[in-house]
Structure 1
Amino acid sequence: MQSPFACVYLSANDIMDPAATTSFMAESCKRVKFNREKLDSVVQLILKGVQEGACHQNYAANVLHTYNEVKLSFIKSLDRYFFVNCISFSFWKNPLSGGPKFMVKGPDGNVHKGSRAVMIRINQLIRCGIPFTASSLSCMPFEVFQFLMTDRRGAVLPMIEERWQIIRDAAATLDQKFAGHFYNCIKYANFNSAELLTLLLENFPRFRDITIYEGRKVSFLLRAQLLILGVAQLFKENNHKIGFMLDQEQLRISSSCRSVQMFRFYGLLVPSPEIEERMQKDDLFAYGEPDEVEMRAMSNYCVEEIKREVNRRLQLLGKPKITSVEVDAIVHKDRYERVSRLQRGQILFPKVRSALH
């Protein structure tokens, strides 16, 4: 099956894809190291997750469309998923800013934050009859968007103006080029992940998670990959007559600040003392600066090394291999269920304010 990174946009612009970026930077990182001594303990955790069936649970638990308790047609569900991805970034709350964090109670009775809260909020709006379409979003005033994306306690998402501008621009592009529906983007891309990635990068700047490291153009494309992964899942769940072509093996989706947080917590990812000091002081990291880029790349590398060792042991047991996506799912589950409940000082992460991841 064709790699999603066989992408014309990347090759035409001499940009390393996320897999190549991970390999290149594993050899080049100066400020962040991989601690192989901690690998076995993390591998044991992942194997335990495999044994408990975590790999057989739908990965969509970490992809936003599982929170779609409001049922829509296939085409409208793709639109909803696309728009949620457009405004899913940088949810952490500045502890000095005061005021509550944006959180929304879901249909499960639990209070959610981050991307989950955004999806649940959008579903609430749809249930109330508020159109969440390209035509409505492309001309929505900022004051209306801000009001709609405010929780019951008056908390608003950080970077709310940037989110409004991004979703307006994306909606306008859908309207002008793709007859108002994300499905038409996928159709135009011949239901192929590599062609869809090219289309996203060409038409939607929000997904250009690309920077320069030591003179080389490197990419992480975190949100574009998550969008494509969710598209593949939606096609599968809806038994669409045309399959969506995606080689999940190729994905590298562990470059978020929360993934960095987890691998630092496990002791696999070791930042320099200078970076540790910056995190302790709650310094703001700039998108694309060397410290930030190295941590993201090393986070992806951690997943690849975990996967390699887990699969070696599974092969000895005569059991099927797992993918990087499944490793990431188990790590995410561990963060959500266990690590996020620890004291803040134990779970430091690099704070970045960027619309790109």
Structure 2
Amino acid sequence: MTQARIFLVDLLNFSFWSDVDIADTGDPHPDRYRVTFGGASYTGYWSMVAAINRALEEGIPLTTPEFFASETSLPDEEIKRIFRSDTIEQIPLLNDRIRIIREAGKVLVEKFGGSFINCIAQAQGSSLALVNIITSNFSSFRDEAAFCGRKVQINKRAQILVADLWACFQNQGYGEFHDIDEITMFADYRVPQTLYHFQCLQYSQELLDILDRGELLPNGSPVEVEIRGNSIWAVELIRKRIQELIRKEQELSSSEEPLKMQAVNAILIDFFIWDFAKAAQQDLARGQRSVKVHRTRSVFY
């Protein structure tokens, strides 16, 4: 996967929960937004990826900033066609996605020579510098909130863009960052649900009642910021504990050569938790230690 495709996918990587699929049973509602590509049917995040791959296969240069910045070369109606659904429900926040595509294309053309590569180069191998470049120039990545009189920067999608570069390029080339361990987890819906399941988070009864009723939590509201902020800190505590266990294993090793154990960062922990959450979706929604995901309609996650 090229850096241009990674940028486009993460540019649009937000808000895939369905208005019709409110039961959260793990089985997609038949009317849920769905895209078929290559003989397979996709929902959620993968439906958006499938729509992009379908467009590229049709010969639409969707990863070219000069192309998607211009309404002349890529009219709004064509974007709507690209993300067309097999079902009644359309992709959430379609108009926001169109606006975000336009803005990002214009920023890349006007400030970065028409290529995301120049953003990466400007960061000089620093993941934190790249996050700052992304959030400073692309408003849809600027995931901030006011909490108790202080500005809180969560920046979920900017960080996952950096993490995807790191993972896809295996810490080489466009994905080589000397400070990748400074990236936090990606505060969304599924990871907090899983942290609650494993008793890494506690929810008040008032919050549990709100989630059980399926009420929306406004983006930037105190409860929503608390869920996401505490999820970040919980994963940091998990990371620290894993590192302690690795050190103890190394100290207790009777081998003449010390055990070689890979360092664990928040990215790897998040990847593991999210994959678990999707695989165990029914258990998380119905099991003994179950809780519904919080619902916030936002471009930030």
Q: Which of 271, 277, 283 pairs up with 1:342?
A: 283
> For 1:218, what is the secondary structure of its paired residue?
strand
CA drift at 1:111: 3.9
Aligned partners of 1:232 and 1:246 also within 8 Å: no
**RMSD value, Cα:** 2.4
Change (3 A) 1:177 1:301: same
Q: Which of 32, 46, 49 pairs up with 1:119?
A: 49
> For 1:351, what is the secondary structure of its paired residue?
coil
CA drift at 1:341: 3.1
CA distance in structure 2 between the partners assigned to 1:127 and 1:95 by the alignment: 30
CA distance in structure 1 between the partners assigned to 2:178 and 2:54 by the alignment: 31
> For 2:85, what is the secondary structure of its paired residue?
coil
Q: Under a length normalisation based on structure 1, what TM-score does the superposition of the two structures give?
A: 0.71
- 1:218 paired with 2:136, answer no
Q: Deviations over 1:293-343 (max 9, x none)?
A: 111111112212222223322322225242222222221221122x21337
Change (3 A) 1:155 1:95: closer
Please name the residue that 1:44 is paired with: none
Q: Deviations over 1:55-77 (max 9, x none)?
A: xxxxxxxxxxxxx5xxxxxxxx2
> For 1:89, what is the secondary structure of its paired residue?
coil
Please name the residue that 2:270 is paired with: 328
Aligned partners of 1:193 and 1:246 also within 8 Å: yes
CA distance in structure 2 between the partners assigned to 1:113 and 1:99 by the alignment: 10
Change (3 A) 1:208 1:246: farther
Change (3 A) 1:144 1:99: farther
CA drift at 1:193: 2.4
Query: Which consecutive residues of structure 1, in runs of 5 or more, have no partner in the other structure?
Result: 1-67, 69-76
CA drift at 1:103: 2.8
Q: Under a length normalisation based on structure 2, what TM-score does the superposition of the two structures give?
A: 0.83
Give aligned pairs, total: 278
Aligned partners of 2:208 and 2:291 also within 8 Å: no
CA distance in structure 2 between the partners assigned to 1:304 and 1:191 by the alignment: 23
Please name the residue that 2:26 is paired with: none
Change (3 A) 1:209 1:282: same
CA drift at 1:235: 4.3
CA drift at 1:236: 4.0
- 1:309 paired with 2:234, answer no
Change (3 A) 1:192 1:96: closer
CA distance in structure 2 between the partners assigned to 1:270 and 1:79 by the alignment: 40
> For 1:211, what is the secondary structure of its paired residue?
strand
> For 1:270, what is the secondary structure of its paired residue?
coil
CA drift at 1:254: 3.6
Change (3 A) 1:181 1:288: same
Query: Which consecutive residues of structure 2, in runs of 5 or more, have no partner in the other structure?
Result: 23-28, 251-258
Letter in 1 for 2:300: L
